[in-house]
Structure 1
Amino acid sequence: MHPSKITILSCSMDPESRSRRIACGAESLLRERRSEVEFIDLQDIELPAFDNLNCYGHPSYDRLYRAIRDADGVLLAVPIYNWSVGSAAKNLIELTGATGAGGRKSAWFDKIVTFVCSGGLPHSYMAYGNLAMSLMLDFKCVINPYVVYATERDWIDGANLSDELAARLRKTVEVKLELVSRLRGRGYASDWEI
């Protein structure tokens, strides 16, 4: 059995991003469990705006597309703004999820997706739901039912997750790896279908 290949996509443009810090914690846990991890921070690369034409020639496109397509699972670390996932994550999914000319096919089909989120208010904890539903319906992604949602109240001295949230992150990563392991041999491959 080869190790699980997990791509972590940190989708915050905030230099002090808390979702990025959670993603780094997830990376450490995945590496402890001998997973092969590719960590991509969208703050460090130029993400072209999705225009369904010129964006595919952008140098970042191939790297992002392959990192998602070739992964056993994807972890999306996202900020929550205005009751929804930050716009960079949606742009990333539009860019790598489009199918079209030249045999291009969405990188997202059948991926096992896990969300780790940081928001300002505790009651925004379901704000990632619309994006999760879209990934499930459009690309037949399997959405990990365990999610980390943290607000500033969940950080100790602004630097470390509370014990409760750190335990939630561990369980979220463990469930992700179990889903990847159990679904590795599945006999189907999805495409655009209703």
Structure 2
Amino acid sequence: MAGQPRVVLLKPLVKSELIEVGDFSYYDDPDDPTAFETRNVLYHYGPERLVIGKYCALATGVRFIMNGANHRMDGPSTFPFPSMGGSWSEHFDLLTGLPNRGDTVVGNDVWFGYGSTVMPGVRIGHGAIIAAGSVVTSDVPDYGIVGGNPARLIRIRHDEETVARLLAVAWWDWPVEHITEHVRAIMSGSVDELEKAASALPHR
């Protein structure tokens, strides 16, 4: 779309009370990134919520499939006749009580690669990386890297002790001024440097 920015912060754009996005999380799309809520969050009829943490990076085409996509699988046909309207709508009770995996929750500092898809009810940990084209069907641990269809755990970015220290530091909860002061440590420093920066926070 002419004149359309390709990168947008999502928090100011989201209108649905069922979607929560943290500060500085962004979506990158050369067509219409401002339409994220309608084009990239699909089958979202409620009541489940989509929660995306702070400082998440979402590449073009990242999609969240919500529970409204479910069809009955216990009968001969999966076709959702009542949703087509007309006299079929008299049987809408056949669409109630479908499986619901609950809220989809994304932690902080998560990087989503191009065209990745997250299925309903998945929980993605802090610092995770979702490889391009992945279809995430199950939970992703903190600092896990997953890829494939269905997405499998490739590796954890850091050892167990380091992950625990990073989670304790929780730099994404720092005041933005403190993050700005220590951005080099956050991006390329050691955990020791992050812990030292955390100790300088007034409330710690």
Give me the TM-score of the superposition, normalised by structure 1: 0.24
Larger helix fraction of residues: 1
Instruction: Choose 1 or 2 for highest CA Rg.
Output: 2
Give me the TM-score of the superposition, normalised by structure 2: 0.23
